[in-house]
Amino acid sequence: MSKVIIVGGGLSGLAAAYWASEAGLEVYVVEAAHNLGGCHRTVTLEGRFFDLGDEYFDAQPSTLLELCSQVGLEPQPFPKLQRVVRLRGQDWVLPSGFNPATGYGLHQLATLPFGPGVKWRLAAERFVPAATVKDESLDAFVRRRLGLEIWEVLEPFLSAILGGPAEEAATPEAFAALLELERQGGLMVASRRLKTEGRWSLAGGMGSLVQALGTHLLSKARIFTGQEALAITRDKGRWQVHTPGGRLEAEAVVLALPAPRAARVFRPSAPQMTALLNQFPYRHSAKAFLLFRHTGPEAGPVEYYWAKTESYVGSSLRLSQLEPELTLALVQFIGDVAHTADAELSRLAQQDLSRYLQTQVRPLAAWVFRQPYSRPQFTPGHTRRLEALEQALVHAPGLFLTGSYLAGPGLARQIAYSHKITQHLLNFLALSALQAD
């Protein structure tokens, strides 16, 4: 029986381990933390589930929907959430179900209170020629097709869901579906044909998927938590993963780590891989939850996104009413501020909340959760970085990489990519067995 070592117990690694074990391989999972799941943790606050990572996934690619079914989970449509962008003191309510990952709801931008010039431009968008630039930035794409005013309204929302400045994102990697709509007659026309926003969630949060995969693997794989991979080496056609607890050896390795952490693993034995992986930019994120009494109008569920000129520290604020006078606020921080101490993040979240409500808020309780290396940035040049990495892997037979920085944004794409990598792994092992015979 062929052996494979999966380094990383997040959802990318667990999915790969699941498919490898189902194919009959001897599977080892190595995870540095004491719990599985990586950034996809679900916490329970005041009796409700809250996801620290992705809280929903798109219907396409369908690999994740199928995986949920295979492990006994039933995805449900993601609950409606009002999304509001505040720009120059004005609130812009985004179309219900608007999903830039699929393009759903784009045509409804024409219903927002723009002036006649903007609405005329949206009506004529189908006549805008396609881009001649292969790696067009997201802001250039939106401005070219929809105009500056639309970009200014969408930018805070897009930055929050991408986990970094939207103007630095590359359209092909961040939202490839928009390019397809462009080819189908324009965004405003083609988006009308989309029947659903296509977002799904799990009743128990994404943590329930982590738990289901972990439970399945307990009888089909060996799982080592609290064991950081310190180095990866290759000798006599076999791979070795070195941990504080010893050395594991197998015919193949799947490295399911964020690029900066994968770079660190290669530093002792393959500095060229370290250099390539360090070229993938990342941002940290953190979430602060504040429980407070709110006696005003019913709060939420609603999520606010702030334009830079609004002087909020967090990138977004979500309000969820738990009881008639009890509300939970979630403030998301992205970038350098996410490194700040817990007490300071709580204070900054309280500051943002008080600023929005225009009254001093005194939280009854506060929780802070950090997500290091959780937000890969899909900037122009990303495709070239991927190609260079693929060329390097040609010289490392039996070594495979997976993760969101390779798959693109969105959990559905991430899981689909892990499935593809697992198929490459199985093909490699089958070919190796034939050559050995």
Encode pLDDT of 296-347 as tens digits.
666 668 999 999 888 899 999 999 988 888 999 999 999 999 999 999 999 9
Non-local CB neighbours of 380 within 8 Å, separated by 6+ positions: 135, 137, 170
Query: What is residue 191's predicted lDDT score, i.e. its pLDDT?
Result: 95
* pLDDT above 90 for 158: yes
Query: What is residue 310's predicted lDDT score, i.e. its pLDDT?
Result: 87
How far, in whole angstroms, is CA 35 from its chain's centroid?
Answer: 19
Q: Would you place residue 198 in the very low, low, confident or very high pLDDT band (cuts 50, 70, 90)? A: confident
* pLDDT above 70 for 147: yes
pLDDT exceeding 90 applies to what percent of the chain? Answer: 86
Place of tokens 């943790």: 41
Q: Would you place residue 133 in the very low, low, confident or very high pLDDT band (cuts 50, 70, 90)? A: confident
Architecture of domain 284-374: Alpha-Beta Complex (3.90)
Lowest mean pLDDT among 238-242, 353-357, 431-435: 431-435
Q: Would you place residue 437 in the very low, low, confident or very high pLDDT band (cuts 50, 70, 90)? A: low
Query: What is residue 53's predicted lDDT score, i.e. its pLDDT?
Result: 93
Q: Which residue spans within 335-421 are E strands per DSSP?
A: 365-376, 399-401
Q: Where are the alpha helices (DSSP H) in 245-381?
A: 259-266, 271-277, 342-357
Quote the DSSP letter at residue 80.
P
- Nearest CA to 5 out of 264, 210, 269, 251 is that of 251
Mean pLDDT (whole number) for 212-219:
97
Indicate where the chain has its CATH 1.10.3110.10 domain(s). 97-194
Indicate where the chain has its CATH 3.90.660.20 domain(s). 284-374
Is residue 74 within 8 Å of residue 63, measured between CB atoms? no
Query: What is residue 142's predicted lDDT score, i.e. its pLDDT?
Result: 97
Mean pLDDT (whole number) for 37-48:
93
Query: What is residue 299's predicted lDDT score, i.e. its pLDDT?
Result: 62
Query: What is residue 208's predicted lDDT score, i.e. its pLDDT?
Result: 98
Is residue 201 within 8 Å of residue 65, measured between CB atoms? no
Query: What is residue 434's predicted lDDT score, i.e. its pLDDT?
Result: 80
Is residue 371 within 8 Å of residue 287, measured between CB atoms? yes
* pLDDT above 80 for 17: yes
pLDDT 10s digits, 253-285: 999 999 999 999 999 999 999 999 999 999 999
Mean pLDDT (whole number) for 113-119:
96
Average pLDDT, the chain: 94
The CATH number for 3-38+206-281+378-436, chosen from 3.20.20.80, 3.50.50.60, 3.30.950.10, 1.10.357.10, is 3.50.50.60
If phi > 0 it is left, if psi is from -120 to 50 it is alpha, else beta; for residue 238 that is beta
Non-local CB neighbours of 163 within 8 Å, separated by 6+ positions: 283, 285, 334, 374, 375, 376, 377
pLDDT 10s digits, 407-416: 999 999 999 9
| CATH number for the domain running over 97-194 | 1.10.3110.10
Query: What is residue 182's predicted lDDT score, i.e. its pLDDT?
Result: 95
Query: What is residue 123's predicted lDDT score, i.e. its pLDDT?
Result: 96
Residue 55 to residues 239, 246, 287, 305: CA-CA distances in angstroms?
35, 36, 13, 17
* pLDDT above 70 for 286: yes
Indicate where the chain has its CATH 3.50.50.60 domain(s). 3-38+206-281+378-436
Query: What is residue 325's predicted lDDT score, i.e. its pLDDT?
Result: 86
Query: What is residue 195's predicted lDDT score, i.e. its pLDDT?
Result: 81
